[in-house]
Structure 1
Amino acid sequence: METDVILAYDYPLLGAFWTTMWIFLWVLWIFLLFRIITDIFRDDALGGWGKTAWLVFVLVLPFLGVFVYLLARGKNMGAREVQHARARQEEVDAYIRRTAGAVGRPLSETEELARLSEIRARGDLSEEEFQRAKEKILH
């Protein structure tokens, strides 16, 4: 009953390094492939047939397709990503403005004076402080 037992020290350090490197490169390749597929669908300047052709090219011949895509359209990938991020940020800002309503807008002079009068009526502000604040608002 003789069996070969593979122990950790039977696997050389350089072999472990190469295995780790290949796994890292494979994961990097998958991320790059998904990034390019996302860029294909995100590009509004590219028509439906163009998107289909690039997608088929990238999926059928992945290595060649990705390299050709990066050479042909890779220069503007960053610009498209920035444009998409800005559009998303504008949507979020518009949503916040709609949801928050008038909370974030600056007060008009009359609203500030009314608020100042309320503070004075509560007794939190002296007459002299009220006059200085009023002058500051009106000038």
Structure 2
Amino acid sequence: MELWHFILLIFEFFLLLAWFYILWIIISDLFSDRAVSGWAKALWIVFVIFFPFLGSLVYLIARGGGMAERRAAQVQAAQSQFNDYIRQQAGTGSASELLDAKKLLDDGTITQAEFDRIKARVVG
């Protein structure tokens, strides 16, 4: 095998992977859009599979702007869920944490200012 044939083979393989990636993006966008009916989704899938280049190009032209908006909404929802989870896990302190801090204050391990900061965090 000559060097140029090998380079061409690598380039074709790259194009094949790029095509599968675009197909994956189109199909995932199509099925995540609740505004499109089942029949319309089926027609888009048939169009993209039987006329791959034309179908993908038409899909990206016709629905490309909506793809970005739907993806941004998904990212925003995921970020909101993550933030809610972090707030829930961080939460406010518990009564046992306040009792432990009081014990440390009585033992002289922490100062009154440190105890007040812990108390403020636990209470509110």
- The TM-score normalised by the length of structure 1 is 0.65
Q: Quick one: which amino acid aligns to residue 9 of structure 2?
A: T
Task: State whether structure 2 residue 37 is matched by structure 1 residue 47.
Answer: yes
Mapped to 1, the partners of 2:79 and 2:72 lie a distance apart of 10
Structure 2 gap segments, 5+ residues each:
none
Residues 12 and 65 from structure 1, CA distance in 2 versus in 1: closer, same or farther, beyond 3 angstroms?
Answer: same
Task: Please name the residue that 2:15 is paired with.
Answer: 25
Cα RMSD for the two superposed structures: 3.2
- Give 1:134 shift: 7.3
Which one has a bigger Cα radius of gyration? 1
Residue in 2 aligned with 1:119?
104
- CA gap of 1:112–1:70, structure 2 versus 1, over 3 A, is same
Between the two structures, name the one with larger relative contact order (CA 8 Å, sep ≥ 6): 2
The CA deviation string for residues 22-51 of structure 1, in whole angstroms up to 9 with x for no partner, is 111111111111111111001122222322
Give me the identity figure in percent: 32
1:45 partner SS: coil
**Cα distance, 1:116–1:20 mapped onto 2, change above 3 Å:** closer
CA distance in 2 between counterparts of 1:21 and 1:75 reads 29
Residues 34 and 135 (structure 1), Cα distance of their counterparts in 2 relative to 1, 3 Å cut:
closer
Question: In the TM superposition, what is the alpha-carbon distance from 1:60 to its structure 2 partner?
Answer: 2.3
Name the structure where helix makes up a greater proportion of residues: 2
- SS of the equivalent of 1:16 reads helix
> CA separation of 1:67/1:135 partners in 2, compared to 1, >3 Å: closer, same or farther?
closer
- Structure 2: distance between partners of 1:123 and 1:133: 11
Q: 1:24 to 1:38 in 2, by over 3 A?
A: same
Q: Where do 1:8-87 residues align within 5 Å?
A: 11-87=1-77
Instruction: Name which of structure 1's ranges 112-121 and 33-42 shifts more when overlaid on structure 2.
Output: 112-121
Distance in 2 (CA, whole Å) between partners of 1:113 and 1:17 is 68
Question: Is the 8 Å Cα contact of residues 48 and 55 (structure 2) preserved in structure 1?
Answer: yes
Aligned counterpart in structure 2 of residue 105 of structure 1, from 70, 91, 96 = 91
Unaligned runs of 5+ in 1: 1-10
Secondary structure of the 2:5 match is: helix
- Residues 27/135 of structure 1: CA separation in 2 closer, same or farther (3 Å cut): closer
When normalised by structure 2's length, the TM-score is 0.71
